[in-house]
Amino acid sequence: MKSTMKTLFVFSIILLISGCARIPAGYRGVKVNLLGSSSGEIEMLNVGRYFYWPFGVEIYKFPVFQQNTVWSADESVSFQTVEGLTATADLGISYSIEPDSVPVLFQKYRRGIEEITSIFLRNMVVDAVNKVASSMTVEAVYGKGRQQLLDDVTKMVSRQVRPYGIVVDKIYAVGQFKLPQKVVVAIDAKIEATQRALQRENEIKEAEAEAAKKNAIVKGESEAVLIRAKAESEAILVRADAEAKANALRAASLTPTLLQYESIKKWSGNLPQATGGTAMPIFQINPFPGKDSVNNK
């Protein structure tokens, strides 16, 4: 009897433990009825602890905080470019689930979040990558067009899952896309040639700029010389004009009377001892100094 009671007690404990579910913070739960007329019905569970009949109910937990999953190695995504070249990429997805949309999400896929991510979301990403890449060249995928490809894939997948409460933050690449080695070598060679051409073009532009600078300096110096020469010639003309005007004034002021007056001031009073011909002094001496004064009187 005691052993039977003990067995029932242990069994009850097991049932109690197995029929207890806890929905932690940051999660929402879905309870699915498996028995009776309510079979298949779902009920959302908020944060808390729940007791249920373990053989007639299943509980699914959905995180409602940011999720991040990377598909690499065997799960890498393969796609083809417009040339038909096959490439592979390690891709990641970052997303979250709206809490109130958990029942809708479960109703759509009837799976837990792990299966939804690894199967349905991955398939959507693979399909979107192939659709976008099929219209792009391998050079674009390998170079500047890579981010555009990822942005377009993010938009396509986001439109598909948004009605069911999944909010895609971004789909991103982990490392470089993997292309056939010969293709990578050819693309790298072309990129290197383009870079050399750009470098040469920049060198030519720098040389042209330096030459233009030197020409500007020479031109500036030539203009300065011309300006100085013009200024000097104008100064000479001004001085010559001034000198000519001064000479004209001096010439106009040299009257016979003035010349005689200047000679008188410089005469010592002595007549020359001998004179030739009829030369006479340039001034006249009145032999009768008092005559004019008498007549004037």
Burial 128-159 (b: 16+ CB within 10 A, else e): bbeebbeebebbbbbeebbeebbebbbebbbe
Helix (H, G, I), strand (E, B) or coil at 221: helix
Q: pLDDT above 70 covers what percent of the chain?
A: 72
Model confidence at 277, pLDDT cuts 50, 70, 90, reads low
Question: What distance in Å separates the CA atoms of residue 157 and residue 109, rounded to the nearest whole number?
Answer: 16
For the chain, give every domain's residue range: 2-63, 67-179, 193-225
Judged against a pLDDT cut of 90, whether residue 117 lies above it is answered with yes
pLDDT for position 269: 65
C-beta contacts of 163-166 below 8 A and 24+ residues apart: 164/101, 164/104, 164/105, 164/108, 164/109, 165/97, 165/98, 165/100, 165/101, 165/102, 165/104, 165/105, 166/95, 166/96, 166/97, 166/98, 166/101, 166/105, 166/121
**The pLDDT value given to residue 284:** 53
Position 39 scores a pLDDT of: 76
Mean pLDDT of the chain: 80
* Model pLDDT for residues 7-66, shown as the tens digit of each residue: 544 444 444 445 678 899 999 999 998 876 767 788 999 999 887 767 778 899 999 999
pLDDT of residue 1 exceeding 70: no
Task: Report the range of poorest mean pLDDT among 163-177, 192-206, 225-239.
Answer: 192-206
Q: Which fold has domain 67-179?
A: Tetrahydropterin Synthase; Chain A (3.30.479)
Model confidence pLDDT, tens digit, residues 211-232: 887 777 877 777 777 788 888 8
The one-letter amino acid code at 99 reads P
Higher pLDDT among residues 87 and 278, named by residue: 87
Q: Lowest mean pLDDT: which of 98-112, 125-139, 180-194? A: 180-194
pLDDT tens for residues 235-258? Answer: 787 777 777 776 676 666 666 766
- Which amino acid is it at 56? G
DSSP string, 158-215: HHHHGGGTEEEEEEEESSPPB--HHHHHHHHHHHHHHHHHHHHHHHHHHHHHHHHHHH
Q: Can you tell me the mean pLDDT for 119-133? A: 96
Q: What is the pLDDT of residue 142?
A: 85
Q: What's the pLDDT at 99?
A: 96
